[in-house]
Structure 1
Amino acid sequence: MTDHTTTSRGDRVAYDLYGGTGPALVFVTGAGPDRADDPVTARTARLVADAGVTAVVHDRLGRGESPADGRLDLDRELAALAAVLETAGGPAVLVGHSSGCSLSLRAAQEGLPVTALALWEAPLGGPAATTRAWADEIERLLDAGDHENAMRHYMKDMPPEWLAGMEASPAWPELARTVAAYRADAQSLAWAQQALEDGTLDVAVPVLAMYGTETFPEMPVAAAAIAAAAPRGTTQEMPGAMHSWEPAPMAAVLAELAKEHAG
């Protein structure tokens, strides 16, 4: 059942809460998915709740049932995450997926009530200057209202068939407009890559950086870099493919992590 919370910036965020007792865990998706088209996260949340953990899945700003206009930047996204954490009932483990990893890292560094981070396949790697230039170009295109090219640029390093499938869809113009919600993702990835490069990542909570058994070669490298930069960082290979995890083994790891680091 969908509930809503309002952020300090006045944005209304939709979420589902699973369970309701025990330590808390909040999923932070990357660019693209909302609750309606993310059955893997929903299934994982149900399994985590069955294990005695409170799990929250929300639609990030500008997606699904969390409509938002204007400049959807990193500060506004963090305010939304702070509101969602409050609905979880206390300090929580954040589960970041893809660019949700960099959002989760920034949330922890900014002092949001986070007890641990579980990060799945952070898309980090390469020179920080390159990532910054990529993010700046996305912002330039968004500011110009050029959503189609902003989406193309956001996805330029992803498997080309992903973008080709979107462009072949009759809904392509509508799909392209959703890139307005990716500004925070681009900003957080640029920040995280710079923090890894210059040693300014300052996350004191435990960080578990994970990647799938069948994944892109840069994902284990990024996980190792995050674990090395975090004082309490570790890595773990998990069952998964094509940038997604398998719900049952993932839920078992997340439930254990939440219970170990209960807020």
Structure 2
Amino acid sequence: MGLKSISRDGTSLAYESTGDGPAVVLVSGAMSTGATLAPLAQSLAERRFTVVTYDRRGRGESGDTAPYDVAREVEDLAVLIEAVGGEAALCGVSSGGALALEAAASGLPVRQVAVYETPFAVHEGGRAAWAEYTERLGEALGQGRRGDAVELFLRLTGLAEEMIQGARQSPMWAGMEAVAPSLAYDAAVMGDCSVPRARLASVQAPLLAIAGGASPAWMREAAQAVAQAAPQGAYRGLEGQTHMVEPQVLGPVLAEFFGA
């Protein structure tokens, strides 16, 4: 991340800007940094957008300031939008979508907002699993057990146990433990994991909720619920795509929406 900005509480934010055209800010999800979305940023930049990727607070090259509050992350986005001209479209991936939606609902100068598979729970079983996860996550992080916190998250995503244990022995594990405290931030952004219909009703910008056709049915149901709750909401399915969406597939869809 070659650029720096300072949020309103003094937290340093590391970001990159690529391309030329209307501004788009990409918001990454849990266990991710701005670099995770670099391929998607490149796809959009090639379609004549100025695309910003950034390390959310508490991860990568950005700083962190206690105590955490979701409102501080909304302020981070406000500062980045100011840095690219005072107005931007937002695209949030996975739990980053919940932050993008909250920013749009908060009245930031958001031109359009798109989200890809924000994992809201549309069934009671999903909300119960989320409540158990957040309780155990808080205990693990409170006791400094970062590795256990990462394991909890990986299990929540459905990763097989042997793959989790393999990951724990891999060189990438140290980096995962480094950003483990930010899992609590994503948990706060997601709230109780239900679709925030009241907040979505206040999103005045055009909204596009996207899900992969090869993802679990509840992911598509969640995206459809998000679209239905927003005044200018629309839903789009991407045939053959999963939660690990291919940038060359998502990029053109976003470009069409942001160019509208």
Smaller-chain TM-score bracket? 0.7 to 0.9
3-state SS of 1:214 partner: coil
Native 8 Å contact 1:2 1:15 kept in 2 = yes
3-state SS of 1:218 partner: helix
Residue 7 of structure 2 is aligned to residue 7 of structure 1: yes
Residue 99 of structure 2 is aligned to residue 98 of structure 1: no
Residue 40 of structure 2 is aligned to residue 44 of structure 1: yes
| 1:113 shift after superposition | 1.6
Distance 2:56 2:191 in 1: 19
Distance 1:191 1:106 in 2: 14
Q: Which sits farther off after the overlay, 76-85 or 101-110?
A: 76-85
Aligned to 1:143: 142
Runs of 4+ in 1 over 6 A off after TM superposition: none
| 1:229 shift after superposition | 1.1
Q: Which sits farther off after the overlay, 25-34 or 205-214?
A: 205-214
- TM (norm. structure 1) is 0.85
Q: Which amino acid aligns with 2:219?
A: M
- TM (norm. structure 2) is 0.86
Residue 125 of structure 2 is aligned to residue 124 of structure 1: no
Which ranges of structure 2 fall in alignment gaps of 5 or more residues?
A: none
* Cα deviation 1:53-103 (Å, max 9, x = unaligned): 111111111222113254444222222222222222222111110000111
* Cα deviation 1:10-41 (Å, max 9, x = unaligned): 11111110123x321110000112234x2xx3
| 1:170 shift after superposition | 5.2
Residue 140 of structure 2 is aligned to residue 112 of structure 1: no
Native 8 Å contact 1:74 1:183 kept in 2 = no
Distance 1:100 1:67 in 2: 18
Per the alignment, do residues 224 and 140 of structure 1 end up closer, same or farther by CA in structure 2, a change over 3 Å counting? same
Per the alignment, do residues 182 and 82 of structure 1 end up closer, same or farther by CA in structure 2, a change over 3 Å counting? farther
Question: What number of residue pairs does the alignment pair up?
Answer: 254
Q: Which sits farther off after the overlay, 162-171 or 235-244?
A: 162-171
Distance 2:193 2:108 in 1: 17
Which ranges of structure 1 fall in alignment gaps of 5 or more residues?
A: none
Per the alignment, do residues 206 and 192 of structure 1 end up closer, same or farther by CA in structure 2, a change over 3 Å counting? farther
Aligned to 1:31: 30
Aligned to 2:75: 79
- Which structure carries more relative contact order (alpha carbon 8 Å, separation 6+)? 1
3-state SS of 2:24 partner: strand
Native 8 Å contact 1:155 1:163 kept in 2 = yes
Map 1:43-62 → 2, pairs under 5 A: 43-62=39-58
Aligned to 1:164: 165
Distance 2:246 2:140 in 1: 35
